[in-house]
Structure 1
Amino acid sequence: MNPLLIEKLNAHPELLSDQTDQQYTITGVSWQAYEALLSDLGDDFPGLRVHYLDGTLEITMPGRRHEVLKDNIAGLLRAYFEETRTRFYGLGSTTFTVEAKRRGAEPDVSFCIGTNKELPDIAIEVVHTSGSINKLDVYQGLSVAEVWFWQGQQFRVYHLLEEGYKRCDRSQFLPDLDLTLLATYVQYPEPLDAVVEFRQALGETR
């Protein structure tokens, strides 16, 4: 176990709570220490998610509500892909890193659209608490083309341009997807009912 991780987790046991999102930030972390920590987390704390931005490390333990929303979003998008015959590759919370840019991220949900690529076309983050690092800066360094944030019961979508990310109303990869409609079903109390009714709604709109 990485000594840095042991020290921080022991000092902040709330990170292991499953009730609400918990976050802790560590500064002055070398790339080598970050990679070593990722290796340790994979074996001992698979639920923790880590974002790294030029020496700053943000460790998040998602709460129960966070994980339910994440799974709802992933399930609904899979239903959309199936209904629209869109080829996709689900990458989940895979760790993506670019050492030259000193960036690393573990999105809540991620997909490649059309073909399987090294990095996702779409990375999705469920936001319940304000993080200490700018995740758009992280994803820009990773050259992720599109980032979605689920926050305040709606999606915020950003496209990567030469000058940085620009907020847009629709996905460039899924231009026919009604994000307002999708958001309605993300909040359903019963995930099965959400997927069934979302499929029905998609059929009615085509």
Structure 2
Amino acid sequence: MINTVALTIPEKRIVFYNLNWQKYQKIIEALGENRTARIIYDQGILEITMPLEEHEFAREIIGLFIRILVFEMGLKIKTLGSTTLNYPQLDRGAEPDNCYYIQNQSKVAGKKIDLTKDPPPDLVVEVDLTHTDINKLNLYASMEISEFWRYDGEVLLIYQLQNQKYVEVEISPTFPKIEKAIFYEFIEQSKLDEVEAEKKLRADLKAEEYVRCSTINN
């Protein structure tokens, strides 16, 4: 028997229980690729999220924030966006809000990702403005995602994978020296003017000599 629960704005979520992997795959196939809804499957639980304005704003601005940091620090990046990350051996699959290769960019540059051969993304971002029944810490830890950002519209939590479990940290391992205050300021300024917020962030990074400070080896 399949049970469903519908949740409300600012993200609309529908949750299905007691679904096996085959039914999950059929639902993905039926929904197709040209959709805004995002899907996460975790060992029998299928969650479909229909993001609305507040969610999409946060997702886009966080993506812009990460890209600016990568550029100003002289790093490299391969963006997967909400590409489906399927791990049938784990009975888990996810379409995160954003995911990236940064440390391992050189290993996947110019390639179509094959998760049976290629490393998992280095950084996954989720914007969760409403309750979710999926334990995303367990989900992404099982996929061996080395860094996970979670934003609820007010607070950014950063997790680093250590001994197959996530540990909350205050500073991103990917972007050392970048404090959360810089992120919060950028989010607030972007609500008023995204272009000016980007200009100010780039100027501040250069002024504070954050650029090219990363310890990541390319």
Smaller-chain TM-score bracket: 0.7 to 0.9
1:203 counterpart residue number: 206
1:77 counterpart residue number: 66
2:142 counterpart residue number: 141
Matched, 1:23 2:43: no
The 2-side partners of 1:37 and 1:111 are apart by: 25
1:40 counterpart residue number: 30
Cα deviation 1:76-133 (Å, max 9, x = unaligned): 2111111111111111111101111111111111111132354211100111001011
The 1-side partners of 2:33 and 2:94 are apart by: 18
**Match of 1:96, as an amino acid?**
L
Q: How many residue pairs are counted as aligned between the two chains?
A: 194
The 2-side partners of 1:96 and 1:54 are apart by: 14
Deviation at 1:154, TM superposition (A): 2.7
2:161 counterpart residue number: 160
Sequence identity, in percent?
A: 27
The 1-side partners of 2:180 and 2:102 are apart by: 17
Contact 1:98–1:141, Cα closer than 8 Å, also in 2: no
- Report the 3-state secondary structure (helix = DSSP H, G, I; strand = E; otherwise coil) of the residue aligned with 2:54: helix
Structure 1 residue runs of 5 or longer lacking an equivalent are none
Question: Which is helix-richer, 1 or 2?
Answer: 1
The 1-side partners of 2:153 and 2:134 are apart by: 19
Cα deviation 1:18-58 (Å, max 9, x = unaligned): x62111110111101111211222346x1111111101111
**Match of 2:101, as an amino acid?**
C
Deviation at 1:152, TM superposition (A): 4.6
Q: How large is the RMSD of aligned CA atoms in angstroms?
A: 2.2
- Report the 3-state secondary structure (helix = DSSP H, G, I; strand = E; otherwise coil) of the residue aligned with 1:173: coil
Contact 1:20–1:64, Cα closer than 8 Å, also in 2: yes
Cα deviation 1:119-165 (Å, max 9, x = unaligned): 21110011100101111111122111111001252310111122511
**Match of 2:195, as an amino acid?**
L
Within-5 A mapping of 1:1-206: 20-43=10-33, 46-114=35-103, 115=105, 116=108, 118-187=119-188, 188-189=190-191, 190-206=193-209
The 1-side partners of 2:202 and 2:31 are apart by: 37
